[in-house]
């Protein structure tokens, strides 16, 4: 007989638990400016994951192959201590124009990966998008300061990347875990995913 768990209020998290099926579903959103590599992260995860553990990669793109609404990938791990964890990974459209869509996708988020385009000339775009993210979180009654959050400094293979200290100083004002990455080659992608999942689970444990 399964334990009956009628309800549980959990003010900082949105996770969904189906006690009858012993499933926990968590939502992770990849946020960042346009062309920073959010979809590339998901594509790499999709291509390198055991096919029996993942669903299709759903992409809602414009004709120019830019994200129009979101990408979606479900990652379903095997049983862990009798429970089935599921992670729903989403990206947001990075272009400034789609601000309303980003708000919709953030709804119900459990953890955020901020994908930075590390090139010097994109510094302001990164900052604008980070502020847009924080603003959206504030309207949802939360802040990056105490939310599961990881920063990924992407495109680290390019010659014109900014200095890591400068990037950290300018963007990582809450000292979130951070990773250098080359998403096209998968460098740093799995580390980032593991770090955000870890943050989300720790966050849940701390709030109990």
Partner 1 sequence: MNLGHGGNNGQSIVLSGEMYKAISEILSDLASKTRARAIIFSDMNGHPITQRGTSADINISNMSALAAGGFAATTEIAKLIGEKKQFKFIFHEGEKNNVYLSNVGDNFLLIIIFDSQTALGMIRIYTKRAINALTELIANVTDTEQKITQFVDVDFNKYLSEELDKAFKF
Which residues are near partner 1 by CB under 8 A? Answer: 2-21, 24-25, 27, 48-51, 53, 55-56, 58, 60, 69-70, 72, 74-75, 77-78, 80-81, 83, 85, 88, 100-101, 104-105, 107-108, 140-142, 190, 193-194, 197-198, 201-202, 204-205, 208
C-beta of 1: minimal distance to partner 1 in Å? 8
C-alpha span between 151 and 199 (Å, rounded): 12
C-alpha span between 150 and 144 (Å, rounded): 10
C-beta of 74: minimal distance to partner 1 in Å? 5
Q: Are strands 178-180 and 111-117 parallel, antiparallel or unpaired?
A: unpaired
Q: Could you give phi then psi for residue 25, rounded to 5 degrees?
A: -115, 130
Measured from the CB atom, the residue of 171 and 200 that comes closer to partner 1 is 200
**3-state DSSP call for residue 109?**
coil
C-alpha span between 76 and 26 (Å, rounded): 11
C-beta of 199: minimal distance to partner 1 in Å? 10
For the chain, the residue count is 208
C-beta of 93: minimal distance to partner 1 in Å? 12
Measured from the CB atom, the residue of 18 and 62 that comes closer to partner 1 is 18
């Amino acid at each position: 007989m399964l334990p009956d768990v009628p309800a549980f209020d959990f003010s900082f998290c949105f996770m969904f638990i189906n006690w009858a099926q012993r499933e926990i579903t968590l939502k992770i959103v990849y946020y960042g400016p346009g062309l920073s590599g959010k979809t590339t992260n998901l594509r790499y995860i999709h291509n390198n994951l055991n096919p029996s553990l993942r669903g299709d990669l759903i992409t809602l793109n414009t004709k120019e192959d830019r994200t129009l609404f979101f990408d979606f990938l479900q990652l379903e791990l095997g049983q862990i201590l009798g429970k089935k964890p599921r992670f729903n990974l989403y990206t947001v459209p990075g272009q400034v124009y789609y601000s309303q869509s980003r708000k919709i996708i953030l709804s119900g988020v459990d953890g955020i990966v901020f994908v930075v385009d590390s090139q010097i000339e994109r510094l302001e775009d990164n900052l604008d998008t980070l502020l847009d993210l924080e603003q959206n979180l504030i309207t949802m009654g939360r802040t990056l300061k105490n939310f599961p959050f990881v920063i990924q400094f992407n495109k680290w293979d390019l010659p014109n990347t900014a200095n890591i200290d400068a990037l950290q100083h300018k963007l990582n004002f809450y000292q979130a875990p951070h990773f250098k990455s080359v998403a096209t080659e998968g460098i740093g992608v799995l580390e980032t995913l593991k770090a955000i999942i870890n943050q989300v689970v720790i966050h849940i444990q701390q709030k109990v």
